């Protein structure tokens, strides 16, 4: 193990491009989370709660002109600082089932692919095992948190915290693998003992 730095150029290139594309997907995933739910445990808990009372914010319409010279309408919303962390959507049980069905396999494949890259890095067996566990535990924490907040509203804040922690843990695993891969593939020279391994 740990032979990625001595791998042929195309193998190092594939590992690098995979990680960079995964990073782009993760950034858009975080953007989607921001648009659909929130990044705080309290907001995640409220988003996946079984029921929520909606309180529409007063809006004032403004007429304007878009970049094509056509009339458009935009809305200005009065901002109430106490409502900034309020979710704009709710996730019903049906949507949670759909989300679990679609995303668990995708997260499993992502964790498996990250693990394959980790196997090629120069790390101790213990460190590789820790990264592999983190890559697979992160999505599990995410979904246990979402389902827990939905099924046990009294403990929704605790489960919301678990969801947010799972998302950040996957990001941490990705960044760790990315930085190590870039360093070992492109910035460091192979050691003499590596060429004999």
Residue at 81 is within a domain: no
- Percentage of residues in the chain with pLDDT exceeding 70? 72
pTM for this predicted structure: 0.64
pLDDT of residue 192: 60
Q: Flag whether 53 is in a domain.
A: no
pLDDT at position 133: 92
What pLDDT, in 10s, does the model give residues 42-61? 877 777 764 444 444 444 44
- The b-or-e profile of 19-48 (16+ CB within 10 A means b, else e) is beebeeebeebeeebeeebbebbbbbbbbb
For residue 105, tell me if it sits in a domain. Answer: yes
Is residue 96 domain-resident?
A: yes
Q: Which residue's structure tokens are 């799972």?
A: 166
Chain position carrying tokens 């695993």? 173
pLDDT at 94: 79
Range of the domain at 136: 4-48+90-195
> How many domains, in total, are found in the chain?
1
User: Does 73 reside within a domain?
Assistant: no
* Rg (alpha carbons) of the chain, rounded to whole number: 22
Residue 101 domain-assigned? Answer: yes
Residue 103 lies in a domain: yes
In a domain, 82, yes or no: no
Give 60-109 pLDDT, tens digit per residue. Answer: 444 444 555 555 555 666 766 666 666 666 778 878 887 887 788 888 88
Give dist(CA 140, CA 37) in Å, integer: 18
Sequence-ordered list of residues with C-beta below 8 angstroms from that of 68, at least 6 positions apart, any chain: none
| Segments in the chain forming alpha helices (H) | 9-36, 41-47, 93-119, 125-151, 156-182, 192-195
């Amino acid at each position: 193990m740990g032979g990625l730095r001595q791998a042929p150029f195309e193998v190092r290139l594939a590992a690098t491009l995979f990680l960079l594309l995964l990073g782009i997907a993760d950034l858009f995933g975080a953007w989607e989370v921001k648009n659909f739910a929130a990044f705080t445990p309290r907001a995640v808990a409220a988003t996946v709660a079984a029921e929520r009372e909606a309180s529409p914010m007063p809006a004032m319409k403004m007429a304007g002109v878009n970049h094509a010279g056509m009339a458009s309408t935009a809305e200005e919303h009065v901002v109430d600082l106490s409502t900034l962390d309020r979710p704009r959507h709710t996730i019903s049980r049906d949507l949670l089932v759909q989300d679990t069905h679609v995303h668990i396999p995708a997260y499993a494949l992502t964790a498996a692919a990250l693990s394959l890259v980790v196997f090629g890095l120069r790390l101790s067996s213990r460190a590789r095992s820790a990264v592999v566990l983190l890559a697979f535990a992160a999505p599990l924490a995410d979904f246990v948190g979402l389902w827990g907040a939905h099924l046990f509203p009294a403990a929704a804040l605790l489960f919301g915290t678990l969801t947010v922690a799972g998302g950040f843990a996957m990001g941490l695993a990705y960044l760790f693998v990315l930085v190590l891969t870039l360093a070992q593939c492109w910035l460091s020279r192979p050691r003499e003992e590596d060429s004999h391994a």
